[in-house]
Each structure stands twice: as C-alpha cells, then as structure tokens.
Structure 1
Amino acid sequence: MEIGISTFVETTPDVATGEVISHAERIREVVEEIVLADQVGLDVFGVGEHHREDFAASSPAVVLAAAAPQTKRIRLTSAVTVLSSADPVRVFQDFATVDALSNGRAEIMAGRGSFIESFPLFGYDLKDYNELFEEKLDLLLKIRESEKVTWKGGHRPAINNLGVYPRPVQNPLPVWIGSGGNQESVIRAGLLGLPLVLAIIGGSPVQFAPLVELYKKAAVHGGHDPSKLPVASHSHGFIADNTKKAADLFFPSTQAVMNKLGKERGWGPYSRSSFDAARSFEGALYVGDPQTVADKMIHLRKNVGVTRFMLHVPVGTMPHDLVMKAIELLGKEVAPIVREEVAKWEAG
C-alpha cells in the first residue's frame, strides 16, 4: 500500500484573516511539503495543474523539479496533467527532465481536467473535450514507446520520424489515468493497461468498488494482467492529534472552497453537517486522529482494492505549519499502521 499526498497549491483567502498568500510563497511552501513527505517516509507526492488565480501550480513539473534534488525516495507525479489542452511532446520532455533530476522517480497522471480554464487559454474548443484527450494520450504513449515518433492526428501538426528528448531514466515512464469515476475513462485505462487514479471526494468510497472491477475486466479484455496494475485514490483529508481538533481545523477552509466552487457549478451550500457526515467511517473525508484515518484507509484497501492512497491536503488555504504537521503524522503514525495491517491481511 503506497501512501502519499496531493495538492492543488491553493492560494484562496485565509478564512480567519482574509489575507491571500502570494503564488510565489505558496509554491515555495509546497516544495518544503514535498521534502518533508520524503523525510517521513511517504511514497508519493502529486501536484495538480490549474490555470486560475486560486491555484498556483500551472506547471507541476517545474514544482516537482525543484523538489527532486532535495528528496531521495518519494515518487513525484502530476495530479493531474490536463493533457487535453497540453502538448504531449512538451509534457513528456518536462517529466523526463523531472525523472532525470530525481533519478527515476517521476510519473505523469493524465486527465481531462474538471476545471476548464486551460482550454480557452491555449486555444482549444470545449466541444472537442473528449476527442482532444484521446488523441493526445495516443501521442503521449507513442512518445513513451519510441525515441523516434511518426504520428498524425486532427488537433496537432503531424510528426514525421522525429526524436523526442531527453529520454527518461525509467523505461517506460509511468503514465496513470486520472478519473472522477467516469466509466469510459476507467475502461480506457484498463484496455490500455495503464494504472488508474480515482478521485474519491464524495459519497461512499465503497461505491467505487464496481468501477475497480470494471477496470480490471477491461484490462483482461485488453490482454493485460490486472494483478500488476495499481489502482490509486485521491481524497480530501487532514490529520491532527485528536479527531475533534482535526475536524475543527479543516472545516473552515474546506467550506470556503466548496461554497466557491458550488457557486460556479450549481451545487448547494456546504454545511458542517455535510462535512461531519463525509468524515464518518463510510464517508469520503479522511479527517481525524492517526488511528481514525488509518482505519478508513485500511477499509478502503480491503473493500475497493486501492493500492495507493493520496491524501489531498489542504483544501483551501491553511497555515503551513498545520499542513506540515498533518504530513508528518501521515508518514510517521498513519502509514506504519496501514502498511502493517495490509501486509497481515494480504498474507492471509
């Protein structure tokens, strides 16, 4: 069971003071968070790509590259790369460079993106949303397979026997498919034999078990061994010394972000009762003391089949020291409990 962190590098107004941290300061903080995650024994750190004022990481590869020489073991991934509006050649080059700097620890998590700001920014039409992803994923995988590439598509100029450099340390460079639970994306990942990441941020995580089974069936249909394909989850959460403290600290910024996004997307208000329900044992929020969070992660592993868990923290702006403490608790206290219990369970 791999355990790690994901972040969108939020720069939302502080709910207590109204102040907004600069993009520069928040990016530097995230590099410190990655370094700490490595030091406390976590397995992976993911940085999400966004192109809006309240998220500072429009270029995850650059952030990960800054952390790469300062870390020793942790894997460094996007979470996600919005592949539909990106150039797959440049994406591959950027992450091959991170792979070089980290000596073989880079990964790409490719997704269509739930935020759409990058499409007009880079000159793409949202009506091509699905077609763009399929085409660009095809090119990315061809670049991964071969140093010299010949390719033709409908949304990007053709490539005729050209080399793409640098080549990564890892062969092949890991490419994951990020999904919010769309059956089509789950089936695509399985047929291609690519690892799957599920964003489990609402409802009951156990409800995602049929999607994992669908993914495995698609993998078999595509001629792949599903036992060799990892499945990851990405869920919001926070850890403190006791559960009440964790909930009280995490709720205000989470509410502020969920209500802002709710206005953009037509959701209802996000209340404390909704939050408390979501942090129940069957809910999708992993908020509490180390034992509480560990128990929920073990439950997810046993009932959904997730082999990698990424705790998304913070949601909205929280004090950097509190985020660092949550990362420390995840690595030093939660992860050992989970790994030990999962090892016992798998041993039978």
Structure 2
Amino acid sequence: MKIELGLTSFGDNSDIYTEEGVIPKISAAERMRNIVEEIRLADEVGLDVYGLGEHHRPDYAVSDPVTVLAAAAMQTERIRLSSAVTVLSSDDPVRVYQRFATLDALSGGRAEIMAGRGSFTESFPLFGYTLDDYDLLYQEKLDLLLQINHHEKVTWNGQTRTAIYDRGVYPRAVQDKLPIYLATGGSPESSVRAGHLGLPITYAIIGGNPGRFRYNVEVYKAAAREAGHDLSQLFIANHSWGYIADTDEQAFKEYYPSTEASHNVLAKERHWAPYNETAYISEIEHGSLYVGSPERVARKIISTVETLGLNRFMVHLPMGSMEHDKIMYAIKLYGEKVKPIVDDHFKDK
C-alpha cells in the first residue's frame, strides 16, 4: 500500500515572528525564489507532491502558482506539482487548463490541479465577479474545466461566461487527462459533488480532531457509489498544518510564534477569539496540527491515514512566515525521517 506524502504552501510573506523577536518581511520576489528551493529540496528527499496556493493580498507572495511551479519544474525530476488551490470560481477554465497543460509539458507530465473556491474572496471583485454568484460560478466553471480536460474540442453554454462552440483548447496536456482534485474545507455538498463526478478529493483539515472527517469521506463514497463509480479507484487526500524539528520541544517552540501571528491576523478579520498556547497544544495533542519530532509526526500521520482511509497526506508548511532555513530543515526531516517511518508501516498493508 503506497501512501503519498507531500507538502502544501500558501507562500505566506509577512513579518517573521520568532522567539527572539520580529524579522521584517522579505520581498515577494525573494519569497518566490525560496519556494522554488523548497520544492527542489522536497523532490530531492523523495516527497511525492507539492501544492502551492493562490492569493491576492499583501501577506501572500503568490497570485499565480503555475508560474512558480513551472520554475520548479525545470529544477525537479519526480515530484508532482499542484495548485493548492486554484480559485476556479474567479478564473477562466480555458486559461486554467492551458496554464496547467503548459506546466505538464515543462514537467514531463507531473502537473495536477486542486480546484476550489478558496478561503479568501479578494479575487472575486478583483476579476469582476460578484459573491452573489458564488455557487453558480464554481458549478459552471468546474463543468467547463472537466469538459476541456476530456475533449480537445469543446461546445459549452452557461450563464457565467460566453458560450463556446466547437473550439479547440491548446496545448493539450502530456498526461492523457490532467488530475483534477476537488478541494474542500469539509462541506458535505462538496463531498457529494466530487463523489458524483468521480473526482479525487482533497480535504483541508485545519482544526479539530481529524476523525470528524470520517463522515465527509463516507458521504463522498456514498455519492460515488450511487453514481456508479468504482470505489477502488477513488483517491482521497488531505492537508493539515505541520512542522518538524529534531525534538518535540524544539518544534513546539519554533512553530508557535508564526502560528499565533497568522491566526491572529485572521482572528481580527473574521471576528474569532485570539489564539493562545492552550489552543495550540490542544491542536497538537488532539487536533490537526502535526508538529513535533519526526517520530511523533509520523505516528500522527499514520493514525490519520488509517482513520480516514487516505491515499495522500500533505503537511502545510509554513503556517504564517518562518525563516527559510527552518522551513528547509523541516522539509529535510520530513523526507528523510518521517517518510521512511510511514512507508515502512504501510509496506505490507
């Protein structure tokens, strides 16, 4: 039984909070170059996939993940390259497919798409969309993207963009079809949609006990079964925040300042309670923070994979902005220490 292990990142780029104090943020250009280095290292240490998020705000460096992934494609050999996520509702499916088909060509067939609605809404007014059409935009654009993925020439008509009549979309992907994951924060409706379509699914499990997502997984499987899909061909992934250091104590200390700072930015925007160490430790011990030594993180990954029946687990690193050398060392430990433990556990399953 092969369990894929990978990384995701949002390209966070704000002031860096550490135990010693605050380090001023680096330029977006430097952050993007650092991300390419992180992807190259992830490939070198044997990780299976790297997903990069799309944002349109000053505290994130990457608005177009495909461009950064394309730079990494030329410096890597095996690792799969994905968005995490493509905010499909405010993008054009024709251009989404073309960009990822280009990435697929440059990488030799390693491109993937995580299609989602995103947890931020800045892209909607930026690209001329209204949140009143939130559900319709996603539904129609996902339908068009899937048609393009399956057919060289497309005829499509809907309410959210102009119709297409028997037009070819080029270039075509190197892979027969681009893997398109439906990415969700956990709404049952998304699980139903992915199951009916027979799409692989990625859950963002970023708070609370991961076991609560068993319900979502069962909804996904039930919808797929009802639609006549082969359940053995379904593919279930997740990503959760995490960080690895030599010891539990070191990991807890190094990861907390950036986690607190990042959470509290969102807390102000979304009227949440301020973050604190009690919540932090609780999430490490009982929730969805995968923080600690390689052995601790590996055990927790194994538990989550078995509880949810996952095919892929991705650690989201960093949470907030962290020093590049710490991120790189955590990736090194993930590939060289965590992955062998996980691989060994599942090799005879």
Q: Is the TM value for this pair above 0.5?
A: yes
Give the whole-Å Cα distance in 1 for the aligned partners of 2:201 and 2:108: 23
Which position in structure 2 is the counterpart of 1:175? 180
CA distance in 1, matches of 2:245, 2:209: 23
CA distance in structure 2 between the aligned counterparts of 1:194 and 1:266, rounded to whole angstroms: 34
SS in 2 for 1:184: helix
**Higher mean displacement: 16-25 or 37-46:** 16-25
Deviates more, 1:10-19 or 1:70-79: 10-19
Which amino acid in 1 is paired with 2:347? A
Letter in 1 for 2:169: V
Q: Distance in 2 between matches of 1:114 and 1:283?
A: 20
Distance in 1 of aligned mates of 2:26 and 2:226: 49
1:86 and 2:91 matched = yes
| 2:128 counterpart (102, 123, 126) | 123
Match of 1:130, as an amino acid? D
Residue 341 of structure 1: aligned partner:
345
1:108 is paired with a residue whose SS is strand
What is residue 311 of structure 1 aligned with on the other side? 315
- In 1, Cα distance between equivalents of 2:171 and 2:224: 30
Matched letter for residue 108 of structure 1: I
State how far apart, in whole Å, the 1-side matches of 2:230 and 2:332 are: 35
Residue 192 of structure 2 is matched in structure 1 by: 187
Instruction: Work out the CA distance in 2 between the residues paired with 1:257 and 1:246.
Output: 17
Q: What's the counterpart of residue 228 of structure 2?
A: 223
1:200 partnered with 2:189: no
Residue 279 of structure 1 aligns to a residue whose secondary structure is: helix
Identity %: 56
Q: How does 1:102-113 map to 2 (within 5 A)?
A: 102-113=107-118
Aligned residues: 344
Match of 1:53 in 2: 58
RMSD value over aligned CA atoms? 0.7
SS in 2 for 1:149: strand
TM-score (normalizing by structure 2): 0.98
TM-score, normalized by length of structure 1? Answer: 0.98
What secondary structure sits across from 2:16 in the alignment?
A: coil
Identify unmatched segments of 5+ residues in structure 1: none
The alpha-carbon deviation at position 179 of structure 1 amounts to 0.4
User: Which secondary structure state, in structure 1, belongs to the residue aligned with residue 269 of structure 2?
Assistant: helix
What's 1:30 paired with?
Answer: 35
Distance apart, 1:343 and its partner CA: 2.3
Task: Please give the alpha-carbon distance, in whole angstroms, between the structure 2 residues aligned to 1:307 and 1:52.
Answer: 32
User: Which structure 1 residue ranges, 4+ long, deviate > 6 Å from structure 2?
Assistant: none
Partners of 1:73 and 1:49 in 2: CA distance? 23
Structure 2 letter corresponding to 1:36: L
